[in-house]
Amino acid sequence: MIPVGITREGAFVLEDDDPAKFPLDAAHLPEVADNGTRVLWPEPGGDRTLRVVRPDGTTDGLGEIDIVLPILHGPHGEDGTIQGYFDTLEVPYAGGGVLDSALCMDKHFMKIALQAAGIAVAPWITVRARQWSQDAEAVRASAAELGLPLFVKPARAGSSVGVSKVEKPEELDAALAIAFAEDDKVLIEVGVSGREIEVAVLEGVDGVRASLPGEIVLTSRGFYDFEGKYLGGDGVDVVCPAELEQHEVAAIQDAGIRAFEAVDGRGLARVDMFLTPSGELVVNELNTMPGFTPISMFPKCWVASGLSYGDLISELIEAGLRR
């Protein structure tokens, strides 16, 4: 395993093989520093050797690449950008491809794809920054027609970054300001009342299958935000398997697989949905590179379904190599 990091400036650097270097600490989130090395990816059609240029200018070969594990979140990591880069280099990689990554990173187009497949999603409107600056009253009027509560979220941020819950009309402007700071395209979405259910989907040698569902149980937190997802913040419990009737489990697994197929899913996805009091399933989003921390739902659900963490990684690698 050769760890490669990407700096904020976009440089590929050779990292230390030390997971303790990147703890999820709320006071100081991990960051790849520029250590002066530069990783050289192989050119398509040539040899498959990964090379590194050292700070002193010398170049070393690190061995031939078998497969890349793009363990990246957010823009350039799970939006199809790095996937297209590796496709161009003819380097195998695990996880989602270009199309499903791009679709699921953009919540607007993800909803359109799901709707086209007959999958229920929360009603919403999409607002561009120009619309908001030119006719804020029209945006407020359209949002008012959706009712309350609302969720305001950047279309292409991920990990609940820039997301706000709006419970009063006067909170809308501030929520839009937070979201527009992350993206110039923002969704205003109806808040769905129901249990927050997540199911893990995996592309295996025998086809696509879904795990036992898990549930996000909010005890004091307003919604499942970044802190709750990645930093183990108080006010949320991640439970897997969820307490569900067998017919509910089957329906959730079926919905997860149908959503995965609707976006032309590859490799894996975590499908988040709401189970309403009436029994309806409303898909909230798909994440094509879900968290793999000890508190993350994707690995927890597969472990609960009888697949160990190690075997899960092996399946992801094997799926990438088959492609």
Mean pLDDT of 30-51: 93
Pinpoint the residues of the chain covered by CATH 3.40.50: 4-100
CA distance 109 to 115: 10
Ligand-binding site membership of 170 (annotated): no
Does residue 256 register a pLDDT over 80?
Answer: yes
CATH topology of domain 193-322: D-amino Acid Aminotransferase; Chain A, domain 1 (3.30.470)
Ligand-binding site membership of 107 (annotated): yes
Ligand-binding site membership of 190 (annotated): yes
Specify the DSSP class assigned to residue 7. Answer: -
3-state DSSP assignment of residue 304: helix
How do residues 126-177 score in pLDDT, each as one tens digit? 999 999 999 999 999 999 999 999 999 999 987 678 999 999 999 999 999 9
Ligand-binding site membership of 191 (annotated): yes
CA distance 260 to 266: 8
Ligand-binding site membership of 192 (annotated): yes
Ligand-binding site membership of 78 (annotated): no
Does residue 230 register a pLDDT over 60?
Answer: no
Q: Are 185 and 126 in contact (CB under 8 A)?
A: yes
Q: Count, in order, helices (H) and strands (E) of the chain.
A: 10, 15
Q: In percent, how much of the chain has pLDDT > 70?
A: 94
3-state DSSP assignment of residue 232: coil
pLDDT averaged over every residue in the chain: 92
CB neighbour list of residue 206: distance below 8 Å, 6 or more residues apart? none
Ligand-binding site membership of 287 (annotated): yes
pTM for the full model? Answer: 0.90
Ligand-binding site membership of 298 (annotated): no
What H or E segment, with its residue span, contains residue 214?
Answer: strand 214-218
Q: Are 181 and 162 in contact (CB under 8 A)?
A: yes
Ligand-binding site membership of 35 (annotated): no
CA distance 51 to 43: 11
Ligand-binding site membership of 159 (annotated): yes
Ligand-binding site membership of 229 (annotated): no
Superfamily of domain 124-190: ATP-grasp fold, A domain (3.30.1490.20)
Ligand-binding site membership of 284 (annotated): yes
Pinpoint the residues of the chain covered by CATH 3.30.470.20: 193-322
Pinpoint the residues of the chain covered by CATH 3.30.1490.20: 124-190
pLDDT value of position 222 = 58
Ligand-binding site membership of 162 (annotated): no
Ligand-binding site membership of 196 (annotated): yes
Ligand-binding site membership of 38 (annotated): no
CATH topology of domain 4-100: Rossmann fold (3.40.50)
Nearest partner of 200 among 281, 312, 101, 50, judged by Cα: 312
Ligand-binding site membership of 153 (annotated): yes
